[in-house]
Amino acid sequence: MTEPRPVIAGIGVTHPPSLRQDDLWRDFFADHYAGVQRGLAQRVFANSGVVTRHSVVNPTLEDVSRWSTQARMERYLVEALPLGKEAVAGALGAAGLDPARLGLFAVCSCTGYVTPGLDILLARDLGMSPRTQRLFIGHMGCYAALPGLGAVTDFVASRGEPALLLCLELTSVHLQPPTRDPQQIVAHALFSDAAAAVAVLPGSNLGYATRGYAVREVAAVTDTATADHMTWDVTDLGFRMGLSPRVPDVLAEHVRPVVQDLLDRNGLTLSDLDGWAVHPGGPRILDVVRDALGLSEEQMAPSRDTLAVHGNCSSPTVLMIVDALRRAPESPRNVVALAFGPGLTLYAALLSAAA
């Protein structure tokens, strides 16, 4: 008899204040790019698919584009602690889980580095056990949630103890000076701040509430020949994004084989899936995934809606879409989550509704 799979039993999502994309363009970025690529920047912002997004740093009130990396890291810590604490508390509460019972606490973030890290500081503030193991996953970018989920579910499966994953990104602290580089303009038009946490519990009857999504498998493929297509460089003025326009073409080549192999190994077909959580790297990426997998706009709606309302929040985003699917009046039973990032890397996770 197959052992029950680990279950995502609670999700907590938090955001800093919301800003309208049109207001950001009018009140800051129009002047930011006034002498450098203003026309291109305006078109990129207008066609980003983003209507509102979230920011711990409101550029209309505070221009951090010339701040040192040190100053940005100090601001990251100030803003990340309360945001992460709320997300983690939400996931623990939804799962009915005492933080002292956690066997593993994993944190994914590529937008800030501090030591002691968020894993230590939040474990202290939230009452986790001194024996709780910790894992910090850095600089993986937008796809980090899925390898993070794989790590915590492997721990839960092998140890029979609960685990928690937090993904937290504050891209707004990395606003860059004006540039002619179209890749920077795209990044400024898309990225947003958020925190998302998931509590993963043993699927066997250990006294925990195990309703949610069972994690059946996490799979990946990395095309190292295109490693230069997506970068995230540490500079004296914060972290700078590199985002090649060729990224969607690489995804178009790899996404269907990754999904098909994942489904084949689990005895499923595309028609068995009734939910899709596709990381919204941008409108064109969503179009490419839709076309490669033969999906309908209805199936893509949760991902497009997340892009419109929240922007691209990097690693938390795919977990936000899973949470939206879970909260739907008729939540899907079988879900594939997809995320993409540097490498160029594609990750896929197969989730199925638990009892």
Among all residues, which ones are annotated catalytic?
142
Give the whole-angstrom CA distance, residue 174 versus residue 17.
17
Give the whole-angstrom CA distance, residue 288 versus residue 252.
6
Q: Is 12 helix (H, G, I), strand (E, B) or coil?
A: strand
Contacts of 9 (CB under 8 A, 6+ apart): 94, 95, 96, 97, 199, 200, 201, 208, 209, 210, 211, 212, 354
- Residue type for position 132: T
Q: In what order do the strands lie in the sheet with 104-109?
A: 133-138, 104-109, 163-170, 193-201, 7-14, 213-222, 345-353, 334-341, 275-278
Q: Is 130 exposed, middle or buried (0-12, 13-18, 19+ CB in 10 A)?
A: exposed
